[in-house]
Amino acid sequence: MSQQPLETVFQEWHDNQALAEQMIPLIGSLYRHNNVVTTLYGRSLFNRSVIRILKDHRFVRKVEGTELSVQDTLPLVQAMTELNLGPAHVDVGKLGVAFKKRGGGDAKAFLREELAEIVDAHDPNGNNGRSKDVVLYGFGRIGRLLARVLVEKAGGGNLLRLRAIVVRGRGDIAKDLEKRASLLRRDSVHGPFDGTISVDYEARTITANGNVIQVIYADKPSDIDYTAYGIDNAVVVDNTGIWRDEAGLGQHLECKGVSKALLTAPGKGNIKNIVFGINHGDIATDDTILSAASCTTNAIVPVLKVLNDEYGIETGHVETVHAYTNDQNLIDNYHKGDRRGRSAPLNMVLTETGAAKAVAKALPELGGKLTGNAIRVPIPNVSMAILNLTLGRETDAEALNDYLRRMSIDSSYQKQIDYVDSPEVVSSDFVGNRHAGIVDAKATIANGRQAVLYVWYDNEFGYSCQVVRILQHISNVHFLKLPRTQA
């Protein structure tokens, strides 16, 4: 390559950086002023770096086969700021591809047509609903990630306010507060908190990016009167896993200031196990106790749903290759569960999973059709589900992958199903992925009616995002998604 082309490529990169820098304040203004969340093929553009925005534009080529750059999308974002838009989730990437296919032209006129439902719909008085108080009961792996997501989404019409966390307190409260804040600030798997955190020892609060979070010390729900902290009509998200039935979780509802309880584990008895995107429509207004099911159930149900809709599933086996969790031992020691007493960082541990049976709670049509097992492996995060299925009709890997790719980018399951087609990806590449599950296209096997699919999932962060989606739903935080999906 001659010197001139090298300089041309380098200059083009710098020009695109400059355009992405121009885009960032516009995206922020749309979010804070209009409650418009901009995405690029499902990937949020809000609060992202210049490099991340450029990488997400590059991602479009992989899923759509079409080149898209900030030169294509910046004019659309600029025009959006001039249209007095109402609240919505707007996929700038899909609009950009459609605009290019149309041959460009007047961006504002194009958007008036595509976004007609929200043009001139901005309410300057901000009457978009009443905010919902959220309490995190327990502050472990899932609790802290939920806190990160809720703080990140604060404002912009999200209407969810993280008001408090509940933990057990022993000894030096000031030291305990500092440790809780430090665990939120630094995470060995997910990296540092994106923002600032401070502690008020006297008030017993942690302030994260301006969100004042009360730290409540209690040994059991009945010890707490949330109204004493100005909290009312709250949703308590129970991350402890101590109580999984209606009797146990019902203790939260007996507290003053609580209206609903959401469990971040599979619920027992008649508790509805919800996989957002699949059966959240089953939630009734008078449901006061709900379960967000398990991370594995959330990962596999969306993929199973779309496969069953298109091909039919006669039988199948789900094998989960799961990261180890705090439930296991660092070194060999007594454990009430079979095999889980053996050292988690040193062994693959064969164990059971209820995910296959739990599928029927979200997809009754698959009841009795699936079996399952699990292997815990020596990594701290990101798991994989291997779906070995007998389908109702024949297909091949190419057709199967093409269908799943389309479901991942242009269907109502866009936030649940992600898709990757690379021969080099490994588990660490999916740390922080916000989807419930990610289909690995290169690993897909299909022969006649037999199919094997490999679905990655961040069993911590992806699951936490699904929990927040349930919180938004039960708190009546609903956003119009534009442009409308085609599948």
Which two structure tokens, joined as six digits, stand for 249?
């979780």
Query: CA of 480: how far to CAs of 90, 118, 149, in Å?
Result: 8, 9, 20
Residue indicated by tokens 């959401």 = 262
**Quick one: which of 196, 30, 168 has its CA closest to 38?**
30
Whole-number Å distance between alpha carbons of 279 and 292: 11
Q: What is the token pair recorded at 46?
A: 């809000």
Query: Could you tell me the sign of the dihedral formed by the alpha carbons of 107, 60, 157, 127, in that order?
Result: positive
Three-class DSSP category at 482: strand
Respond yes or no: is residue 255 known to be catalytic. no
Distances in Å between the Cα of 171 and the Cα atoms of 137, 175, 442 are 20, 9, 53
Catalytic residue among 177, 295, 417, 474: 295
SS3 content of the chain, % helix, strand, coil (to 5): 35, 25, 40
What angle separates helix 70-80 from helix 3-34, to the nearest 10 degrees?
Answer: 20
Would you call 392 exposed, middle or buried from its count of C-beta atoms within 10 A (0-12, 13-18, 19+)? middle
Which residue reads 């069953």 in tokens?
Answer: 308
CA atoms within 13 A on the CB side of 344: 17
Degrees, nearest 5: CA angle 455-457-48: 125
Plot region of 444 (φ>0 → left; ψ -120 to 50 → alpha; else → beta): beta
Burial class (CB in 10 A: 0-12, 13-18, 19+), 404: buried
Cβ–Cβ < 8 Å for 45, 92: yes
Annotated catalytic residues are 295
